[in-house]
Structure 1
Amino acid sequence: MLKFKHSLAALAAVSALLVGGAAIAAGGGTPQKGKSLGEEGYQWHAGGGEEDEALHLKPDLANGKEVYEVCSACHQMEGWGLTDGTFPQLAGQHPKVVIKQLADIRALNRDNPTMYPFALPSQIGGPQAIADVAAYMAVKLKMNPEPGVGDGKDLAHGKKLYEENCTRCHGADGAGDNDKFYPRIQGQHYEYLLRQYQWIKEGKRRNANPDMMKQIQSFTDRDTKAVLDYTSRLKPPANLVAPKGWKNPDFQ
């Protein structure tokens, strides 16, 4: 059973981990908004603050498990989120991507007002906690073997669009790049991808990569659905995927 304080925090924690990055406020818990998309001086990945601190710390997986308890009520014990896209899959995500997104939320460079109060140092700890939980997700959580997908009616079109537009950053198989902070999008729930994609296109994901935002402006509704349906079906390496019915042994 979850600890009581963790349960309360988790019930309100709504997380989203895809493309992002911006100037990070100095560590310590006082948020500072960075430059938004379209503003002069905006940098997609400026680094600094808690992000840089967490990146240089040795992760403690035991503490990562404790921190993950806060996340598990929404993202599930296995880190699979929900196939309807309400919550994304976090299992198997690159640790640098997780670190960046948590640091951005805490610094108010990525808007997530529901999650923000529960992601603060007073709730989960400082940069060490960010490093710990990011490593725990990457190392201990196996990915959902049956992620949410689209209707499968336009996959050839989606494949063409993916190969022409997405491989440079996310790779041919959707694996992303830990060192470049590009997220793993293979096996991510279709409905979640659809929502975040739309927010990026509309400028609501303030820490999104501006190159991606520009690139997708010309995509039609058909293009969007097709490419994201195809993306959701990209297969992660077998060693990252859990068997059907897998339960996280840390919470049994």
Structure 2
Amino acid sequence: MIWLFSFGGLQAQEKANLTSTAEFGGKWGTKVEEAIKALELKGNIEDGQIIYEEICEACHQPGGNGDPAGNFPQLAGQQSTVVIKQIADIRAGNRDNPTMYPFANIEALRAATEDIFDEEKDGPQTLADVAAYIQTLPMASTIKGEGNDLEHGEKIYAENCVRCHGDHGQGSFKNYYPVIAGQNYHYLLRQFLWIKEGKRRNANPEMVEQIARFSERDILAVMDWVSRQTMRPGDWDPNK
């Protein structure tokens, strides 16, 4: 079943924060030079919308909510720092995603944004812009699991996931931990299994170790529980 109601838009102050920089730290940081530069820049939401509409919306949909099958994730509401890190990792060859290669490369960005492309800042500015725009998009509730083991899923989450992803899957702007609340269940499952099996090269090493002992029941239950969570005011705080 596909749920169509929307939830979790950015509050005004949080939206304003997107154009300011924050100090980034965390044990799991980024070492990609382009991402480091982009994180120091102020994202232009209006320019980011142009980039998104030209390059991203064909797959991720105009609202950034992905597709029901989970082939393309919901980007709407994602922490902008996470978007920057993941795109930079794909472009640097640190994350395997052949589908994204033609869209993420610098030539595609330059061609799609010739009127606003900043030659001096080049790729980093476009990353900052599109990430800022994506974070402002309202999330939509997507595909969920069967809902028959949610208590177990909540227990597994509380014991293993809260420290990084927050108590309801809100992630961390400051430490690059993604929003997983309300993400498509099928996408969550696939990414989780790839990380567990060592197929996602830019995965957090601590997470790989943490989930190594998860059973099939654990995985299905926790991903189902996560897919049902919603973002709340304050979840996009750049200091968290």
TM-score by length of 2: 0.78
Q: Are 2:30 and 2:36, in contact at CA under 8 Å, matched by a contact in 1? A: no
State the Cα deviation string for residues 146-197 of structure 1 (Å, max 9, x = none): 2110000110110100000000001111111100100111000110000000
Give the corresponding residue for 1:86: 71
Give the corresponding residue for 2:33: 49
1:59 aligns to 2:56 (yes or no): no
Give the corresponding residue for 2:134: 137
1:4-23 correspondence runs (5 A): none
Aligned pair partner of 1:218 in 213, 216, 220: 213
Greater relative contact order (Cα < 8 A, sep 6+): 2
Q: Distance in 2 between matches of 1:171 and 1:75?
A: 25
1:178 aligns to 2:173 (yes or no): yes
Q: Are 1:190 and 1:232, in contact at CA under 8 Å, matched by a contact in 2? A: yes
CA RMSD of aligned residues (A): 1.6
Q: Distance in 1 between matches of 2:143 and 2:134?
A: 19
What is the identity, as a one-letter code, of the residue corresponding to 2:195?
Answer: I
**Gapped regions of structure 1 (runs ≥ 5):** 1-42, 241-252
Shift of 1:205: 0.6
| Bigger mean CA deviation after superposition, 126-135 or 47-56 | 47-56
Shift of 1:45: 2.9
Aligned pair partner of 2:188 in 173, 189, 193: 193
Q: Distance in 1 between matches of 2:69 and 2:204?
A: 25
Shift of 1:44: 4.9
Shift of 1:238: 6.7
Report the 3-state secondary structure (helix = DSSP H, G, I; strand = E; otherwise coil) of the residue aligned with 2:180: coil
Give the corresponding residue for 1:156: 151
| Aligned residue-pair number | 196
Q: Distance in 1 between matches of 2:127 and 2:172?
A: 19
TM-score by length of 1: 0.75
Percent identity over the alignment is: 55
1:77 aligns to 2:72 (yes or no): no
Aligned pair partner of 1:229 in 206, 210, 224: 224
**Gapped regions of structure 2 (runs ≥ 5):** 1-26, 111-122, 236-240
